């Protein structure tokens, strides 16, 4: 059994991590830490867990775990690792953006945790940076092209996310009265995941030197990401479909589908559904993921499974919310 602990367990990603690990057949959840909720029942914050656990949030930990999940705000994970004496043999999986980018002035050994691209590196690391939610949906849309050095020209992306993508803290744009019956663009061409996406593109196809134009949207729903990506491609739709299906054949959660997917198919699952369409020399790729699972906590547990030699699907099959 893997002993796991969660740092920062009161937010959306911490809640999803708690739910998954409580049901994981090869994992024991040792503690869930929270500064703001310490001493309170976990089920008082994550109310769907009423009757399923009598665990309480803790403030201090002893790090007697095999794997530590950091579900902290961006900027806090790097401080936490620096200021706490985490044993060298404890695996760290960080869900913030702190270790996703390689910095010349701040070098680190964290492996980027996209299993469909870096499965073998993930298996051999003790330090992992979990991808961002938008980044996951977008990267899985172009990954087979980049891996086969087939990208040419600019990439244009529009993606819409639910309100949980903004985190649990209240702000003007997550209130029900603002989100309901409302859709809006934000951070046009400037979203923080754009650098992350560019770094992956550069590692997979170094000779590609064009641009990613990313337009994110806020949706009037709670969870899920719908991504639409288009770029130039000279191959036929049959050739492209074969490339995508071959690339994802050994990856259980990413599935190329024949019909346009929708968000309800993947909510509450670790799946990514991919659909391809061709018009003249333009390829259009659709992906859908649950931003809190495949885009965060589910992918983190998938990575834990790989790091500890388990089947990567272990503890991650769940029913989508179809209706």
The pairing of beta strand 2-7 with beta strand 27-33: parallel
Is 314 a residue of the active site? no
Distance linking the first and last C-alpha atoms of the chain: 35
Two structure tokens written together for 68? 């530590």
8 Å CB contact between 267 and 223: yes
From the candidates 27, 133, 233, 314, which is the catalytic residue?
133
Q: Which residues pair with 94 in a beta bridge?
A: 70, 129
Tell me which residues are annotated as active site.
Answer: 133
């Amino acid at each position: 059994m893997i002993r796991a602990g969660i740092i920062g367990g009161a937010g959306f990603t911490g809640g999803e991590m708690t739910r998954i690990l409580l049901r994981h057949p090869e994992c024991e959840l040792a503690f869930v830490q929270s500064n703001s909720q310490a001493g309170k029942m976990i089920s008082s914050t994550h109310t769907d867990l009423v009757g399923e656990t009598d665990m309480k949030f803790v403030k201090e930990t002893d790090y007697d775990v095999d794997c530590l999940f950091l579900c902290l705000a961006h900027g806090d994970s790097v401080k936490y690792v620096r200021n706490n004496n985490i044993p060298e043999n404890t695996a760290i999986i960080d869900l913030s953006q702190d270790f996703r980018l390689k910095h010349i002035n701040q070098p680190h050994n964290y492996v980027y945790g996209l299993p469909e691209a870096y499965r073998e590196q993930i298996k051999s690391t003790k330090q992992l940076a979990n991808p961002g939610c938008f980044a996951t949906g977008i990267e899985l849309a172009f990954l087979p092209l980049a891996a086969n050095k087939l990208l040419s020209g600019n990439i244009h992306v529009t993606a819409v996310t639910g309100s949980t993508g903004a985190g649990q803290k209240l702000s003007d744009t997550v209130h029900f009265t603002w989100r309901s019956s409302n859709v809006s663009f934000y951070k046009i061409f400037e979203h923080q995941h754009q650098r992350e996406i560019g770094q992956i593109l550069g590692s997979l196809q170094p000779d590609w030197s064009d641009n990613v134009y990313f337009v994110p949207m806020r949706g009037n729903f709670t969870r899920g990401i719908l991504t639409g990506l288009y770029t130039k491609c000279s191959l036929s739709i049959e050739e492209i479909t074969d490339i995508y299906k071959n690339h994802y054949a050994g990856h259980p959660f990413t599935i190329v589908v024949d019909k346009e997917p929708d968000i309800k198919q993947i909510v509450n699952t670790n799946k990514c559904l991919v659909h391809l369409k061709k018009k003249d020399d333009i390829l259009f790729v659709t992906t859908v993921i649950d931003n809190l699972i495949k885009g965060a906590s589910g992918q983190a547990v998938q990575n834990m499974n790989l790091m500890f030699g388990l089947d990567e699907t272990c503890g991650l099959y769940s029913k989508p919310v179809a209706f």
